[in-house]
């Protein structure tokens, strides 16, 4: 079994894959920058107990992290629990991607993992939309990562709006009955939901205008479900894209060692 861990700025997503590559469980916990190795170990043990799984049968693990202060603690916790160090994505990790980037180290490991999974699961060219703390949109063709755009995340933008404008309240993300808001809350909801849907549609068109039309547009991330259904483009939602990418990358980086042993 393989443990996949994606440490994001807001949420750490954890998944366990079985012997045939099936996802046995998936869970998310809040990312804490003040965590310790012991706390990470307790969090993992708690999740395995919750999902009635045995951590002692885990044969390996892969970690993607956007929060350096948490990476070492999680790496140490995983190594202690499964008896071997996890694969931590970074320079030198085999991905199978031809990345067109001035500095490969500037490309987030979660974006790389999503890209690997998208190319393995969907027809190319493919545009990957990741709607988390930030909204990233990546264009992939065959095995080449052509580039991406990065925009403020839905919740980040909404929180900034509420905090900077004293008269605007904090609201939940949901579509109003009409695009025309007749009160402050509905007007904000219209802007957040329909505005972000229009942004995604528009950026897809601009990316395709500089390359070729995408065969697939796939989206992932916590904010995606509230927005995608209002997009005019057909977009596949895949909640587990980054976890599947980590699993595939782990397999690619351990294949030779497994055969030799």
Domain spanning 98-243: CATH superfamily: ATPase, nucleotide binding domain (3.30.420.40)
Is 110 labeled as catalytic in the residue annotation? yes
Contact (Cβ atoms closer than 8 angstroms) between residue 7 and residue 25: no
Q: What is the model's pLDDT at position 260?
A: 41
pTM for this entry: 0.88
Domain 2-88 of CATH type 3.30.420.40: yes
Token pair 């599947």 is at which residue? 244
In this prediction, residue 91 carries a pLDDT of: 82
Segments of the chain assigned to CATH 3.30.420.40:
2-88, 98-243
**Burial of residue 240, with CB atoms counted within 10 A of its CB: 0-12 exposed, 13-18 middle, 19 or more buried:** middle
pLDDT at 172: 76
Alpha helices, DSSP H, located in 139-238: 154-164, 184-209, 224-228
Q: What is the DSSP letter of 123?
A: P
Residue pair 1/48 in contact by the 8 Å Cβ criterion:
no
CB neighbour list of residue 15: distance below 8 Å, 6 or more residues apart: 3, 4, 5, 23, 24, 25, 26, 27, 240, 243, 246, 247
- pLDDT tens by residue, 11-55: 999 999 999 999 999 999 999 999 999 999 999 999 999 999 999
Residue 9 has pLDDT above 90, yes or no: no
Question: Given pLDDT bands bounded at 50, 70 and 90, which one contains residue 150?
Answer: very high
Tracing tokens 């916990």 back to the chain, one arrives at: 29
pLDDT tens profile 106-149: 678 899 999 999 999 999 999 999 998 889 999 999 899 999 99
Q: Which residue has the higher pLDDT, 183 or 4?
A: 4
Q: Is the pLDDT of residue 261 over 60?
A: no
Active-site choice (6, 110, 130, 238):
110
pLDDT of residue 51: 95
Gyration radius (Cα) of the chain, Å:
19
* Span 202-211, pLDDT tens digits: 999 999 999 9
pLDDT of residue 250: 96
For the record, the structure tokens of 127 come out as 């545009």
Flag whether pLDDT at 259 surpasses 60.
Answer: no
Assign 251 to helix, strand or coil: helix
Q: Left if phi > 0, otherwise alpha if psi is -120 to 50, otherwise beta: which for 81?
A: alpha
């Amino acid at each position: 079994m393989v443990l996949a861990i994606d440490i994001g700025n807001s949420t750490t997503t954890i998944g366990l894959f079985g012997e045939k590559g099936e996802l046995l469980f998936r869970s998310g916990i809040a990312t804490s920058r003040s965590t310790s190795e012991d706390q990470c170990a307790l969090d993992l043990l708690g999740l395995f107990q919750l999902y009635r799984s045995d951590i002692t049968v885990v044969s390996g693990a892969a970690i993607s992290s956007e929060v350096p202060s948490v990476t070492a603690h999680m790496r140490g916790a995983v190594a202690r629990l499964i008896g071997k160090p996890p694969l931590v994505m970074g320079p030198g990790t085999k991905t199978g991607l031809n990345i067109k980037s001035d500095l490969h180290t500037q490309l987030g490991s979660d974006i790389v993992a999503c890209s690997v999974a998208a190319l393995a699961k969907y027809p190319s060219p493919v545009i990957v939309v990741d709607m988390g703390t930030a909204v990233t949109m990546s264009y992939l063709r065959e095995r080449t990562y052509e580039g991406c755009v990065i925009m403020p995340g839905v919740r980040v933008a909404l929180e900034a709006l509420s905090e900077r404008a004293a008269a605007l309240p904090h609201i939940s993300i949901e579509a109003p009955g009409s695009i025309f808001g007749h009160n402050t809350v509905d007007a904000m909801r219209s802007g957040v939901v329909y505005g972000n849907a229009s942004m995604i549609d528009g950026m897809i068109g601009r990316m395709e205008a500089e390359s070729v039309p995408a065969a697939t547009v796939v989206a992932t991330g916590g904010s995606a479900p509230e927005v995608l259904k209002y997009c005019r483009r057909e977009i596949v939602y895949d909640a587990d894209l980054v976890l599947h990418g980590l699993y595939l990358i782990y397999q690619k980086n351990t294949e030779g060692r497994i055969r030799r042993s």
